[in-house]
Structure 1
Amino acid sequence: MRYPVLVSLLPVSVLVAATACSPSGNTGAPNDATVPLETPARPKPRPIVRGAAPQAPAEPAVDSKARPRPTSVKTFGAWGIACDNGAYCTAVSMAPDDSSIAELSIVVERGPAADAPVSVTIGTPGSALRRVVVAIDGTPLASGNPGDDRRFTVTGPVAMTLARRLATGTAMTARLDGRTIPVVITGAAAALRYADAQQGRADTATALVATGDTTPATTPPALPTILAAPLTDRRAQAPAAPLVAQMRQRTGCAADQFGPVTNETYALDATTDLVLLSCGSGAYNVITRALIIRDGKASEAPFDLPPQFGEPGAKPALVNAGYDPKTGLLSSYAKGRGVGDCGVGQDYVWDGTRFRLAEMRMMGECRGAITWPVIWRTTVARN
């Protein structure tokens, strides 16, 4: 199921639902593993886990001044695939095109390095399970005990074998606590072939689909560097009531009787405070406007790629926003529907002048995916 309303996130377009703001037996299969991962169904922002965490370089970092250019998610049958600006590829299975529910979802991830390992995460967007065994063409290939997040991950040779069999197999099944269900793999071969091409692996020994004996054709692209403002331990001062009233009037964010009425305040640097002003809510999305305060004056926070929610042209709005003073990450996490299988997530850092997009994830298909592929990634440094 696709979103019926476009959300403009130039230079990409993200599909978001118009209602988004409205009110076991062990078969002996190899490589059992359980690696807890977070599920996008939770209402809080998802933290960045690749490339955007603050780092301490050996030499002073230089800002790349790169303009955010998120990639896009391609759909092949029942699979979505995205390779970000650093050629990190994430493929995720979904329900068939005529359904919005998937009992099992599979995620195949791989970095761009020639020797980068493959990881395969298996999980359920619905109820928790004690035991999962997956098989392709009758051969059990992986099994595990999902954690509290309803998923587990396999790596190493088992993951490589499973990924390659996804591309060549004809029928996949999953045994869920003793109950066997079919899993649609239509489109897996095309999605993984796309990943091979984006990473320069086609016709090489490291390819997942069309292997060969040629050498990789490309060098992994370097991630852009963002030089973020130093973190501060200064305690922010909450804005006075008249200033809050002024901000609400200026932004059109009147107190919402159906959601929280807040104005969370954080210190961004030595002279700047961030105010997250509540601006309406629905069943699973809380809308927030970001403002900055300097010298007692408030203004709308600037972004290099503004977060937008709703119709194209709408004023920048964060969704299910959160700011972490320990990492300096400002997050937005807009769900397309309550189960969190679709939507867009963005994490920003403050560079002293504006918020810069550090990482972005997206899934435009509401069809049971258990993760949102990464479509933009950076390295964040603080001198």
Structure 2
Amino acid sequence: MTEHLPVLRAFQPAAAKRAVLFAGFFARFARLALGLLAAVILLPAAATSGQEERTFGTWTASCAPDFVCRAVTGIEPRLRLERHPLQSFWELAIEVSSPPPPYEQDPTIDIDETSETFGWYDESGPYGAANRFYFMGAKAQAVLDRMVNGQSATIHLADADRQRQAYSFSLRGLAAALLWIDEQQYLVGNERLTGVPPYGLLPANIDMDPSIVVPAALVEAHRADETCEPLEDLPNGRDSQVERLDDERLVAILPCGAGAYNFSSKVYVVTGGEFKLQHFAEFADHQSWHTSDQLVNAWYDPASRELVSFNKGRGIADCGSSGTWRWRNFFRLEEYRYKGECDATGDPGEFPVVYTAPPMPEY
């Protein structure tokens, strides 16, 4: 699944569903179009050079050969603004050595005498790594607007020990650093917008192997899928699971939807930078056997190489279905259970077997 992604991420259909994160921004997007398209047209020539770096006051601005540009200040912690060439939005983040525990305390950003308090998940949270904390939504836009002409920024976060910490940064040189980046990306004169989740990064899952790299194109394709809800709106939006299938392939289970007691995901097999959405056999009385591109309450066990699902027909799980697929260079259905009648009998999930695969030699 390597479909061409639109250059203007702000115009993607799925981004419209995320309007709650940056209400009021859409009227401004049209003014960004010509500038961003010009930047993309000029990318090949600009990207052939090595990394460029400039210092402005307390800020260092740089543009990598892939044309990702960022302005940073501080060492540990570090405050950063970054813009990817395939999106028109700045990403506002702080990198800390001691990641904050979720929901412990609402993060706050002070710009001079003005303060903004951010909620969790839809307005702030870690992406890509637990120690990289991003700020989103309309409040992030207000902060960025003040930062450009401000004197100082102080970010209040709880640390891993649940102690509230204040991290202060000088804003001297930030305006010049951002202007230099605008020049490098051919976006001088365009509005500086922020507010959307970071490009190509999943909400951080503390259980994920940090050596595993999820392709940005997969994250963006999943976000653009109109059949799934935005990760920031889902109670399970930070429960992605990415595991190694073998030396060359990964399995990525990415949240897609949520109900009262069922959580759906889409499953992708990733080979290098390529990825493919998986489809699975399912059974129901009214449909007989059919296929679906979503699994409910899915989990992959790397030890047994088994992918399992458990779809509750209702909360007490006296009816529903469950499946077990084992990785054998593809996901082979090993067993499927189903019970259509919700009769308050039997143990939860103990459904009748409707399919068992014949034995297959071990590899």
TM-score by length of 1: 0.34
Higher relative contact order (CA 8 A, sep 6+): 1
User: Greater Rg, structure 1 or structure 2?
Assistant: 2
TM-score by length of 2: 0.36
